[in-house]
């Protein structure tokens, strides 16, 4: 099949000042597009030019970086407007067999639905209204645009919560949920754990890393374990000072932001990955951790935490405390084995086969 994947925003930017990356090969959408190719399909990946990498890379599929227009109105990091997309679909629709477009509340999805009728899948992640302008544009979009223009378009939720939310506004929402996948060859399983916990996160307010450090300080007084924090952000200095004030600086390691190659050994050998976020959608780091055989301790906020519960792949708690750290440490070998048994479900190839099956049976 000839497949067009529309994913304007390949990596997260917290502000409109986008810091361009040196590669997209660590992103979720690159992994999915590559898996479609490995499964025998031809892929074109359509992304916003504002996120174009700083260097040169070779890809096993075609990549189009489209300029964004009217950026003062349509913020590139939230709802980019790429008029070249409509032109591309019009010119190539006879050769395109399937279009996958991310999100219902998106201008690029409206273009795909309008010009690719019967060929478009909306792969939807959000489980609540976008907070932009007090949710007013989102509520208008879902209640008018989605109900009228997308009512019969096939929608696949990336989580149960996303599926339920989409079902309020669209009539053709699949019962099948397709979450994010990963390259299992890159995230190899490791059953040999060392005496530390790991955090892989931006060091920003909503991630609440301070709560993790406080929980670890209570637990760490009873153990020689370490806490390895991978990532960077405007709260780093404050977090380093917090570790010092709790007299655990010698057991809290700040590595800064690391590429996947350097991050992976930390993730693979950790007893658990810790998440304390107060606002997130589905988190790719959760499935990366599970694939490595590393259990997850998290708040219930991320939309893909039901997978953790389903497979007994870690512990979910409203607030991370020393109790959860002690529990995951005590029963670590059982959780690690559960991750090993579950990981095959997370492969990008498995996700590709699910897409093709749902699309074929639509």
Side-chain half-sphere exposure of 293, counting CA atoms within 13 A: 18
Q: Collapsing DSSP states into helix, strand and coil, what is residue 345?
A: helix
Per cent of the chain over pLDDT 90 is 87
Residue whose pair of structure tokens reads 């009512």 in the numeric block: 151
- C-alpha 227/C-alpha 350 separation (Å) is 33
Model pLDDT for residues 272-283, shown as the tens digit of each residue: 999 999 989 889
- C-alpha 335/C-alpha 192 separation (Å) is 13
Model pLDDT for residues 308-354, shown as the tens digit of each residue: 999 999 999 998 999 999 999 999 999 999 999 999 999 999 999 99
- C-alpha 328/C-alpha 111 separation (Å) is 47
Cα–Cα distances in angstroms (integers) from residue 211 to residues 7, 46, 160, 299, 308, in the given order: 33, 39, 28, 11, 21
Contacts with 256 (C-beta within 8 Å, 6 or more apart), sequence order: 230, 231, 232
For residues 65-85, average pLDDT:
93
User: What is the structure's pLDDT at 259?
Assistant: 86
User: What is the structure's pLDDT at 14?
Assistant: 67
Provide the sign of the torsion angle of the four alpha carbons 205, 211, 217, 223, taken in this order.
negative
User: What is the structure's pLDDT at 222?
Assistant: 60
DSSP label of 347: B
Model pLDDT for residues 292-315, shown as the tens digit of each residue: 999 999 999 999 999 999 999 999
Model pLDDT for residues 98-139, shown as the tens digit of each residue: 999 999 999 999 999 999 989 999 999 999 998 888 899 999
- CATH 3.40.50.2000 residue ranges in the chain? 2-181+348-360, 196-346
Q: Kindly report each contact of residues 284-287 with a partner whose C-beta sits within 8 Å and lies 24 or more positions away, as own/partner.
A: 284/28, 284/180, 284/182, 285/200, 285/201, 287/179, 287/180, 287/181, 287/182, 287/346
Classify domain 2-181+348-360 by CATH architecture.
Answer: 3-Layer(aba) Sandwich (3.40)
Provide the sign of the torsion angle of the four alpha carbons 114, 127, 294, 334, taken in this order.
negative
- C-alpha 299/C-alpha 78 separation (Å) is 25
Structure tokens, 272: 């658990």
Instruction: Kindly report the CATH class assigned to 196-346.
Output: alpha beta
Give the pLDDT band (50/70/90) at residue 21. confident
Model pLDDT for residues 215-243, shown as the tens digit of each residue: 999 986 565 689 999 999 999 999 999 99
DSSP label of 192: -
Side-chain half-sphere exposure of 123, counting CA atoms within 13 A: 23
In this model, does residue 356 exceed pLDDT 60? yes
User: What is the structure's pLDDT at 124?
Assistant: 98
């Amino acid at each position: 099949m000839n497949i067009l994947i529309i994913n304007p925003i390949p990596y997260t930017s917290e502000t409109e000042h986008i810091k361009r990356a040196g590669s997209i090969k660590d992103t979720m959408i690159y992994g999915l597009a590559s898996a479609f190719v490995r499964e025998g399909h031809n892929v074109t990946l359509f992304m916003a030019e504002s996120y174009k990498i700083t260097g040169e890379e070779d890809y096993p599929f075609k990549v189009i970086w489209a300029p964004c227009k009217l950026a003062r109105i349509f913020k590139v990091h939230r709802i980019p407007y790429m008029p070249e997309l409509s032109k591309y679909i019009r010119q190539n629709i006879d050769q395109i067999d399937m279009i996958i477009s991310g999100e219902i509340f998106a201008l690029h999805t409206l273009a795909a639905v309008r010009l690719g009728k019967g060929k478009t899948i909306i792969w939807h992640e959000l489980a609540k209204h976008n907070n932009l302008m007090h949710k007013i544009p989102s509520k208008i979009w879902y209640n008018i645009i989605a109900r009228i223009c997308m009512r019969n378009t096939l929608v696949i939720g990336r989580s149960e919560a996303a599926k339920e939310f989409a079902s309020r506004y669209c009539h053709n929402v699949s019962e099948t949920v397709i979450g994010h996948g990963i390259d299992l060859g890159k995230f190899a399983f490791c059953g040999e754990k060392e005496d530390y916990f790991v955090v892989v996160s931006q060091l920003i307010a909503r991630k609440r890393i301070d709560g993790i450090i406080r929980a670890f300080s209570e637990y760490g007084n009873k153990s020689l374990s370490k806490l390895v924090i991978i990532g960077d952000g405007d709260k780093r200095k404050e977090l380093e000072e917090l570790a010092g004030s709790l007299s655990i600086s010698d057991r809290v390691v700040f590595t800064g932001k690391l590429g996947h190659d350097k991050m992976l050994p930390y993730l693979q050998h950790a007893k658990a990955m810790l998440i304390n976020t107060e606002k997130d959608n589905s988190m790719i780091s959760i499935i990366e951790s599970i694939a490595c055989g590393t259990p997850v301790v998290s708040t219930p906020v991320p939309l893909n935490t039901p997978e953790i519960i389903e497979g007994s792949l870690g512990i979910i708690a409203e607030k991370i405390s020393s109790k959860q750290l002690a529990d995951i440490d005590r029963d670590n070998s059982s959780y690690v084995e559960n991750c090993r048994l579950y990981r095959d479900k997370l492969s990008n190839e498995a996700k590709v086969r699910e897409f093709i099956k749902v699309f074929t049976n639509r």
